[in-house]
Amino acid sequence: MTEKYQQFRKHVGEIFDLDAVVSVLEWDQQTYMPSGGAQVRAMQIATVYRLWHENLTGDEFSAALEAAKEETANLDPDSDEVRIIRHMQREVDQWRKVPSEWVSEFKRLTTLAHQAWEEARANDDFAHFQPHLEEIVQMRRQYSEFFAPYDHPYDPLLDYFEPGMKTSDVKAVFDELRPRQVELVREIAERGAPVDDAILRQNFDTSKQWDFGIEVIKALGYDFERGRQDKAAHPFTTSFGIGDVRITTRFDPKYIGTALFGTIHEAGHAMYDQGISPSLDRTDLINGASYGVHESQSRMMENLVGRSRPFWKAFFPRLQQYFSSQLGEMDLETFYRAINKVEPSLIRVEADEATYNLHIMLRFEIETALAENKLSVADLPEVWNSKMEEYLGLTPPNDADGVLQDVHWSSGYIGYFATYSLGNLMASQIWTKMEEDIPDLTNQIERAQFAEMLAWLRENIHQHGAKFEPLELLQRVTGNTLSVEPYLRYLTGKYEEIYKLS
Ligand code: ZN
């Protein structure tokens, strides 16, 4: 490639480096840093992030971008070169609206808020987190104002995580989903054959849980030569480059589901990042098409693979070897039904597939109300609890298992939650297409053979990184736009069988 494009890529690489350095600092904060490091770490992250923003939005980079654009004007519109330029143009346009001081202050604030959230959750003390969250909400409203005019003040927040998606789009999807999802949960409660998951709630040695999780994700295709796993308060995946994609997990010694499905979920994210084309390394495009597409990959691994009967045909005998006294006498069918038990519950990340989206809708309503300035942070615990009652028929006994349960708001991630539900929908759409292309898929999963599945995902989704916007990617892969039907078909079919509804 020509000289000006090379010059542009040099800038892109340096901007990426600064962003990746922040990710390393954040990974360290959430895994190994002692709590005493929080104040100074917040300054370090704020400094590096300000440099990132100044580089990205500076005149020098814009000039390099323009020169590269001219030089590559005749290339294939789907080429890496054109797509990288387009992506960086979008980033520049977006971040030029936001002052460097805001970016730096927001990073400092959220780094400290993360610490406060961990403490507040551990001590069930919302008041400890409240002032931090008030500042975050305040700054997030400011962020929206940088993008005025908008249709809805939540639009700029959502667009950050799901490019091209509007608040009204998500509302429309949820309006379609809600009645059918609620109806399914009601039918299961009223007519379903009882399912008992007490076998999952025994004492499970956490080091054995760790070992089994590693065995599973290695089989799925997570590459430990280019990654590692550590413990964290809230599981996450982070990528510093295609050669270093890390995951974290957490354990409950009295419930095997937490670590098991959490680990598979994060490995789904990580395999996406590990599968991105090396030609995109050291660019912003290695973070995937969007958070929704990312969740489609993690939730696909967690649920369509990890909670499926074929998967456990392969892995249940191994799990029994790890935990022979707890599960040795158990049959596969009882286990399969237990891990798919539908029951309204307090904690989103442990929710079954039938109730999961209800947790998301609740958060989406709260976030849009915060963006509209119709809800104050001080009222959040009460509003949370009343919405839990409305959606799931439960009142959290404390804030730690209520409004404080998720890490997202402490990281400033207001606008994120909807992407989980969008990911659920996309996962089913992508899966339907993959099953057409790999007719033998079920048999392969039963034999713990995932190579063809992973190769298909790499070919169709992973390798592209953020070259295509989410809906464009979905269209290219499935030939369709976003739809609730494949997801509802999957869900209904699965639970009609488990709960013997038909
Ligand atoms: Zn996830």
Q: What would the 3-class secondary structure string for 344-404 be?
A: CCCCHHHCCHHHHHHHHHHHHHHHHHHHCCCCCHHHHHHHHHHHHHHHHCCCCCCCCCCCC
Report how far ligand 1's centroid is from the alpha carbon of 56 (Å).
Answer: 27
- Pairing status of strand 229-231 against strand 237-239: unpaired
User: Can you give the C-alpha Rg of the chain in angstroms?
Assistant: 22
| Residues 283, 13 contacting (CB under 8 angstroms) | yes
For the entire predicted model, the pTM comes to: 0.95
User: Residue 192: is its pLDDT beyond 90?
Assistant: yes
In this predicted structure, the answer to whether residue 497 has a pLDDT above a threshold of 80 is yes
Taking each helix axis from N to C end, the angle separating 100-123 and 126-146, rounded to the nearest 10 degrees, works out to: 160
What's the CATH code of the domain at 105? 1.20.58
Q: Looking at residues 475-499, what average pLDDT do you find?
A: 96
- Same domain? For 267 and 379 the reply is yes
Q: What is the CATH number of the domain that holds 472?
A: 1.10.1370.30
Q: Among positive and negative, which fits the CA dihedral 80, 81, 83, 89?
A: positive
How many angstroms is it from 266 CA to the middle of ligand 1? 6
Q: Is the pLDDT of residue 233 over 90?
A: no
Q: Point out the domain boundary residue: 86, 120, 148.
A: 148
Active-site residue flag, 266: yes
**49 plus 183 within the same structural domain:** no
For residue 411, the CA-to-ligand 1 centroid distance in Å is 15
Q: Are residues 98 and 46 part of one domain?
A: yes
Average pLDDT, the chain: 96
The answer on pLDDT for 34 being more than 80 is yes
Read off the pLDDT of each residue in 301-306 and give the average, rounded to a whole number.
Answer: 98
- Among 71, 118, 266, 302, the active-site one is 266
Distance from the alpha carbon of residue 204 to the mean position of ligand 1, in angstroms: 24
Same domain, 75 and 216: no
Rounded to the nearest angstrom, the distance between the alpha carbon of 118 and the centre of ligand 1 is: 19
Q: What are the pLDDT digits (tens) for 386-434?
A: 999 999 999 999 999 999 999 999 999 999 999 999 999 999 999 999 9
Rounded to the nearest whole angstrom, what is the distance from the C-alpha of residue 424 to the centroid of ligand 1?
Answer: 11
| Domain shared by 224 and 94, yes or no | no
CA of 384 to the centre of ligand 1 (A): 22
> Which pLDDT score is estimated for 502?
80
pLDDT in tens, 85-141: 999 999 999 999 999 999 999 999 999 999 999 999 999 999 999 999 999 999 999
pLDDT for 398 equals: 97
Ligand 1 center from residue 423 Cα (angstroms): 9
Domain count, the chain: 2
Question: 267 CA distance to ligand 1 centroid (A)?
Answer: 9
* Shared domain check, 206 and 138: no
| 229 and 337 part of one domain | yes
pLDDT at 183 over 80: yes
290 and 261 inside one domain: yes
- pLDDT of 1: 58
Q: How far is the CA of 298 from the centre of ligand 1 (A)?
A: 6
Q: Quick one: pLDDT at residue 208? A: 98
- The answer as to whether 43 is a domain residue is yes
Residue 234 gets the label, from left (phi > 0), alpha (psi -120 to 50) or beta, of: beta
**Which class for 194: exposed (0-12), middle (13-18), buried (19 or more C-beta within 10 A)?**
exposed
> What's the gap in Å between 296 CA and the centre of ligand 1?
9
Residue 229 inside a domain? The answer is yes
pLDDT value at position 170?
97
Rounded to a whole number of angstroms, the distance between the first and last alpha carbons of the chain is: 61
Task: Give the residue from 148, 176, 191 where a domain finishes.
Answer: 148
> Would 153 be classed as within a structural domain?
no
Q: Which domain holds residue 72?
A: 3-148
Q: How far is the CA of 356 from the centre of ligand 1 (A)?
A: 13
**Ligand 1 centroid distance, CA of 471 (Å):** 19
In a domain, 160, yes or no: no
* 154 inside domain: no
Same domain, 295 and 434: yes
157, part of any domain: no
Q: What's the CA-to-centroid distance between 329 and ligand 1, angstroms?
A: 33
Domain end position, chosen among 113, 148, 183: 148
Query: What pLDDT digit, counting tens, does each position of 317-343 carry?
Result: 999 999 999 999 999 999 999 999 999
Whether residues 142 and 177 fall in one domain: no
Q: Are residues 26 and 111 located together in one domain of the fold?
A: yes
Both tokens of residue 313? 């045909």
Q: Quick one: average pLDDT of 440-463?
A: 98
Q: Would the pLDDT of 234 be above 90? A: no
Asked, for residue 372, whether it belongs to a domain, the answer is: yes
pLDDT band at 350 (very low <50, low <70, confident <90, very high): confident
Among 174, 171, 119, which residue's Cα sits nearest to residue 371?
A: 171
Q: Are residues 359 and 397 in the same domain?
A: yes
Confirm whether 247 is domain-assigned: yes
